[in-house]
Amino acid sequence: MVIKPKIRGFICTNAHPTGCQAHVNEQIAYVKEQAYTADGPKNVLVIGASTGYGLASRITSAFGHNAKTLGIFFEKPPTEKKTASAGWYNTAAFQQAADEAGIYSKNINGDAFSHEVKAQAIEAIKADMGKIDLVVYSLASPRRTDPDTGEVYSSTLKPIGQSVTTKNLNTSKRVIDEVSVEAANDAEIQGTIDVMGGADWELWMNALNDAGVLAQGVKTVAYTYIGKELTWPIYGKATIGKAKEDLDRAATAINNVTASLNGQARVTSLNAVVTQASSAIPIMPLYISAMFKVMKADGTYEGCIEQISNLFKENIYGDTPRIDEQGRFRQNYKELEESVQQRVTDIWNTVDTDTIDELTDYVGYHAEFLKLFGFNVDGVDYDADVSPELAISNLL
C-alpha cells in the first residue's frame, strides 16, 4: 500500500515502516559520530524503549557504548491492511541495525506495569545478560493497572488550585486561540501520580534487586520535564508536575534499596521536545514552536538523540555532572537559560495566527511531529508501494 499520514487532532493514527527505519538510522548515525567515555554501560534495560527519549537511550547505549540492551515497550503490531504503531517499526529498525552490527539486543512487547513483564525481563537478563548496570525508565502512558489490586488508574492534564485559560496553538486548525482547563480534584491529582509518578519505577528496581540482577554500582534514571513559568500552569505546577515530583520520592527510595550495591538513582530533567506525549499537552505545541525558533537561531537546539547523547557524556558518565538542588541531573540547562526564556516569552506574548510562521518555527515543529511516525524523513519515497507487515526479530 501507499502510506500517507492520517492525522486526527494531536495524534497520527498510522506510521510508515520505511520512514521509521530511516529516522532510526539517522539517530544511529549521529551516535556513531560521537566520542563516549570508555566506562559507559555494558548491560542496559530500557523500560519504554520504542520512541522518544527511551529509544534514544537505547540507541546511545548500543551504538555509543556497544552495550547489550533489553527493551520493554507496548506497541501495536501491523496487519495486512493496517500499519503498526511507530514504536513497533522503530524497534524493528533498531533490532535490524543491532543484528547487523553484532550487538546483543532483545525485546519484550507487553504491559511494563505488570508483574508478568517484570518476571519475563528478569528471566531474559539472567539467561543472557548477567547483571544490569543501567536501567532507563522512560514510560509515558495515560493509564496504569495496579499489578497487585487490578485497579486502573488514569492520568489527567489539569492545573491545580484554579482553572487556567491560556494562549494555545491549535494544531488541527493552525490558529492561535485560547484553551481553558478546569482545575483537577484530589482524585484526579492522585490518579495522575499513580500513573506517571515513581511507583512503577520503584517496583521495577525492587524486583530487579530482589532477583539479584543489578550490578555493583548500578545506575538508573527516570526522565522528566520541569520547564519554566510559561508551561508551569498546565505542566510543572499541575497534575503532571505532581506526578513528576513523586519521581524524586522514588529516587530516594531506590537509592536506599540499592545502597549495598553503591547504586545511584537520579531523576533527569530534559528539554522540551516533540514527542507523542508532549503533542497532547495544551500549550506545549506553541511553547515548543517558539523555543525552536530561539534555540535554532542560537545553535543550541537539541532533539531527543542529541539530548540523550549529551546526557550520557556529561551527566550519567561524566566527571562533573550538573545536579540541581533536588538532586536531579540537569540536562535542560540550555532551554532554561534566562535569555532563552525571555525571548520565548516575548514571542508567546506577541504571536497571533497571522504571524505563526514569522515568529515561531511551527513548520519545524510539524516536521518533527511527522517524523515521529516515519513521515517527512529525507530520502524516503512516500509514493512507493510498501507492505505494512514487518516483524521484530529477537522478540521474546
Active site residues: 235
- Judge whether 225 is annotated as a binding position: yes
Rg (CA), the chain: 20
- Judge whether 274 is annotated as a binding position: yes
- Judge whether 49 is annotated as a binding position: yes
Task: List the one residue out of 75, 70, 201, 74 whose CA is nearest residue 123.
Answer: 70
- Judge whether 61 is annotated as a binding position: no
- Judge whether 62 is annotated as a binding position: no
- Judge whether 74 is annotated as a binding position: yes
C-alpha 230/C-alpha 15 separation (Å) is 32
Tell me which long-range contacts 158-161 makes (C-beta under 8 A, separation of at least 24). 158/182, 158/183, 158/184, 158/188, 158/234, 158/238, 158/239, 159/183, 159/184, 159/233, 159/234, 159/237, 159/238, 159/239, 160/184, 160/189, 160/237, 160/238, 160/239, 160/241, 160/242
Helices (H) and strands (E) in the chain, counts: 13, 13
Strand partners, 73: 109
- Judge whether 273 is annotated as a binding position: yes
Contacts of 144 (CB under 8 A, 6+ apart): 113, 152, 153, 194, 195, 200
Residue 58 near residue 32 (C-beta atoms within 8 A): no
3-state helix, strand, coil in the chain (%, to 5): 40, 15, 40
**Identity (one letter) of the amino acid at 153?**
Y
- Judge whether 38 is annotated as a binding position: no
Angle value at C-alpha 185, between 180 and 186, nearest 5 degrees: 150
Compute CA 21 distance to the chain's CA centroid, rounded to the nearest angstrom.
18
Q: Which cell numbers hold the place of 306?
A: 542529541
Residue 83 near residue 5 (C-beta atoms within 8 A): no
Angle value at C-alpha 285, between 279 and 288, nearest 5 degrees: 110
C-alpha 79/C-alpha 84 separation (Å) is 7
- Judge whether 244 is annotated as a binding position: yes
Task: List the one residue out of 359, 367, 364 whose CA is nearest residue 176.
Answer: 359
- Judge whether 15 is annotated as a binding position: no
- Judge whether 53 is annotated as a binding position: yes
- Judge whether 280 is annotated as a binding position: no
Binding-site residue positions for NAD(+)? 48-53, 74-75, 111-112, 139-140, 244, 273-275
Q: Indicate the annotated binding residues for substrate.
A: 225
Which segments are annotated as binding site? 48-53, 74-75, 111-112, 139-140, 225, 244, 273-275
